[in-house]
Structure 1
């Protein structure tokens, strides 16, 4: 019997995260509030505050819910193809609802909130860079990339280019952009077989 309330609590948490994403896609960050989420979900504000101390914490959890699985790389044995697939998938996620508008809003809010910026960095950016670094390091170990290269900066540049385009530029993250980025990466770090 003790599992029933826990399941209900987990289901309620999932519902609140989904309501937050739906509402964010409709009204943007400026229109979001704990009160608006509570109203849409048909719960009291205390139900939300028991789980999240602030709107930004709720948004970060909502983003995590939909984005975490999208950060995983496939490993087909072809690093260029795997990076291409991941970057195109990430580019689409960063430019469309629910992730795109919510992520841009959280980034904007983080500029004035150092704790939010640190949390965003720890929960998303470090994860994105680390998963990219892990994938290109495996490629280095199998001989697809030069053996002596330090790939940490390369992972940061690869990821940073996508974020720059999605957050600060009007240029798309499309096939041409991803292919151009990967052509430069492979020219610098690739090996001939």
Structure 2
């Protein structure tokens, strides 16, 4: 029987993509506490040094994996209709937070962050800030386009838009459904839409 040649080694962005996906998959299976660089390296069939060259810790690697999944799949549309774009984004975000790979991994990281100020700071810097900035960018573009009041300071509004649905999803048993999303957007537009 002829010897099969080994699978070609992945390089560059393909290797990065594979490591990030393995990290998400494994975290969904074992949770944050059960995740280790060693287990990720084994599953990805790479040496630990390959991972440590790019990421100093499992936290940094996991947050990069979450950030990649989030920003790749959940970028805001810009159709010129702010309410419609926000609604579409929030529906997709809600779906992502409710199912693998993002949902269970994100909940595990949030739980762990409650007893780790360093993880909480890293979570905000490497993941939540990206979500906040993306929302802020979209509503500021709408303000410049004349959809929102020119005199409005939108900083707090962006935090409320991001935070309200996370609060429901992570801390309550209330549904994050179309009715909740529409109620949040109605409140936002009533406060900030150009008259």
What is the CA–CA distance in structure 2 between the aligned matches of 1:47 and 1:137, rounded to whole Å?
A: 40
TM-score (norm 2): 0.85
Report the Cα offset of residue 27 of structure 1.
2.3
TM-aligned CA deviation for residue 7 of structure 1 = 6.1
- Counterparts in 2 of 1:44 and 1:180: CA distance versus 1, 3 Å: same
5+ residue gaps, structure 2, are 1-8
Runs of 4+ in 1 over 6 A off after TM superposition: none
Provide closer, same or farther for how the CA distance between residues 11 and 31 of structure 1 changes in structure 2, counting only shifts above 3 A. same
2:111 alignment counterpart: 108
Counterpart check, 1:23 vs 2:36: no
The answer as to 2:48 corresponding to 1:45 is yes
**Equivalent residue number for residue 159 of structure 1:** 162
Query: SS of 1:149's equivalent?
Result: coil
**Which residue number corresponds to residue 183 of structure 2?**
180
| CA distance in 2: counterparts of 1:11 and 1:138, whole angstroms | 33
Tell me the residue number matched to 1:69: 72
How far apart are residue 45 of structure 1 and its match? 3.1
Q: 2:73, 2:176 → 1: CA distance?
A: 16
Please name the residue that 2:126 is paired with: 123
Q: Cα offset for 1:9?
A: 4.5
User: RMSD over aligned Cα, in angstroms?
Assistant: 2.2
* Equivalent pairs, count: 188
Pick closer, same or farther for the CA change 1:150–1:81 going to 2, 3 Å.
same
Contact 1:52–1:58 (CA<8 Å) still a contact in 2? yes
Q: Is the 8 A contact 2:64 2:126 kept in 1?
A: no
Q: Does 1:92 find its partner at 2:95?
A: yes
Distance across 2 between alignment mates of 1:139 and 1:42: 46
What is the alpha-carbon distance in structure 2 between the residues aligned to residue 7 and residue 39 of structure 1?
A: 15
TM-score, length of structure 1 as denominator length: 0.86
